[in-house]
Amino acid sequence: MNGSDALMLYADSATSFNHTIKLLILEIQPGTEPWSSERCRDSFASRLELVPRLRQRYLTVPFGLHHPVWVDDPAFDLDKHLDRVRCPAPGDMRALCHLVSDRYSGPLDHTRPLWHVTLVDGLAGDRLAAVLLIHHALADGAGFLEMLLRFWTTQPESLSYAASHPWTPDPLPSRVRLLRDAFLSGPAFLFKQTAFAVRSIRAIGRTCRQWQREGRALPPFPDGRHSLAPFANRISAQRSFAARSFALDRFSLAADRFGCTVNDVLLGCVAGALRSLAIDRDRAPPAAPMIATVPVVRASVGEGERDEHFSRILHTLLHVDIADPVERLAACKRSADVMKEFFAQTRDARPAALLDILHPSLVKRACRRNESRHGGWSPFANVIVSNVRGPREPLRLGDVRLADWFSTGQVSHGAGLNVTTWSYVDRFNVCILADAIMLPDPWVLMTHFESSIDELLLRQATPRQCA
């Protein structure tokens, strides 16, 4: 396990849970066999071969000589990872999201593979939902997309997968084996990652100094001085969750009209929604921009294994202080352009490589210190905004159609709000996950988000506004 993935494990606590939410809306073709619990289990069991990591747990290395390692779980029991419940009436999206909030508000079992699926009956329109909680150490957004496509596009004509051979787990390695492997691979790994971390930090430092000499503005750094940060605080154990599907064309149209990207439109709409939320709360508009954390994942190489993804945490400004929606979008675009240009000039740098070489005890201590400092040490600052391009073709397994799906990452101490969007076919699906104390009703923010895209679509671009 690399240091970034291990960090997600170390940061787990009684109030901070680093598993993510994947919400799949399923339709069963009329006139076919109902999708019973047994049928669901059999389908899952047959397709586990396609995603081997789902039958693996982690083991810690004695004395912290390496970060935890993934191993086959000889005691793997699929029934421990599946259950079925009924959605409370009236079975609409609000009721489903309330159920998801309750299911999310607690840790996963770290003695087993770090995922759990709940099948939800009773949805409006005779649909089903599958709520997957999967730990970020096991898969990030890009990694899960690869898992999803592998699961749904391999033999899609059948609900079950014809496994090539029965699964025979490797025995758990002994402490002696773990120590031996750490001693054999540790020195070369530490040397390589130390050199990588030093080069990365120097490259970022050189770019910062060059930009300062040229008088160019740098992307914001989450130190509390650059912007408002109302969600940069210690989180509780309770979560609030909302999910809604929009037409992708609405965001593409706004991007074309104002000469920007769909990502820029997302940032502008989040800024507009947060501005309206602040006015609701404080009876006055914000006086300064608000900082946002933007995860960036480079395309993976090789066969799509999780540790081949190259992730960076960047920051930009949401211009909640600007009233006009088009001018606000233009300002968010300018800030995002600064962030993207900085990333382009340092794209080979991976400062998180420093986590690969730090002893686990130091990282764990930093996580606990970050919690006691109310998130002041975390690179995840205030609100996390993420956008992932999902499948453009509808997915199907036999008589089961993936009608829609939603996905979001976690919140953490220092970043109590997460707004994540995934596109699916012609839909733009928005998830809001928040600490329930900071944002008790996420549907208020979702309504403001919709108003923000409506405001943009009612306006026409002018050269001054789009500059």
Kindly list the catalytic residues. Answer: 136
Q: What is the DSSP-derived secondary structure letter of residue 348?
A: T
Query: HEC string of 170-230?
Result: CCCCCHHHHHHHHHHHHHHHHHHHHHHHHHHHHHHHHHHHHHHHCCCCCCCCCCCCCCECC
Under DSSP, is residue 50 helix (H, G, I), strand (E, B) or coil?
helix
Q: Are 270 and 385 in contact (CB under 8 A)?
A: yes
Alpha-carbon span 19 to 112, nearest angstrom: 14
Alpha helices in 214-296 (DSSP H): 248-257, 262-282
Listed residue (292, 300, 287) closest to 229, CA to CA: 292
The C-alpha R_g of the chain, in whole angstroms, comes to 23
Beta bridge partners of residue 82, listed in sequence order: 117
Listed residue (118, 117, 114, 116) closest to 136, CA to CA: 114
Q: Are 421 and 431 in contact (CB under 8 A)?
A: yes
For 466, the enclosing helix (H) or strand (E) is: helix 463-466
What letter represents residue 89's amino acid? A
- Residue length of the chain: 467
**CB-facing half-sphere around the CA of 352: CA atoms within 13 A:** 22
Q: Give residue for tokens 């202080």.
A: 321
For 315, the enclosing helix (H) or strand (E) is: strand 310-318
Q: Give residue for tokens 């699906």.
A: 429
- How far is C-alpha 75 from the chain's CA centre? 29
Under DSSP, is residue 31 helix (H, G, I), strand (E, B) or coil?
coil
- How far is C-alpha 33 from the chain's CA centre? 34
Contacts of 359 by beta carbon, 8 Å cutoff, 6+ apart? 64
Listed residue (226, 179, 219) closest to 341, CA to CA: 219
Between helix 262-282 and helix 248-257 the angle, nearest 10°, is 100
Q: Before 90, cis peptide (omega within 30)?
A: yes
Q: Return phi, psi of residue 147, to 5°.
A: -65, -45
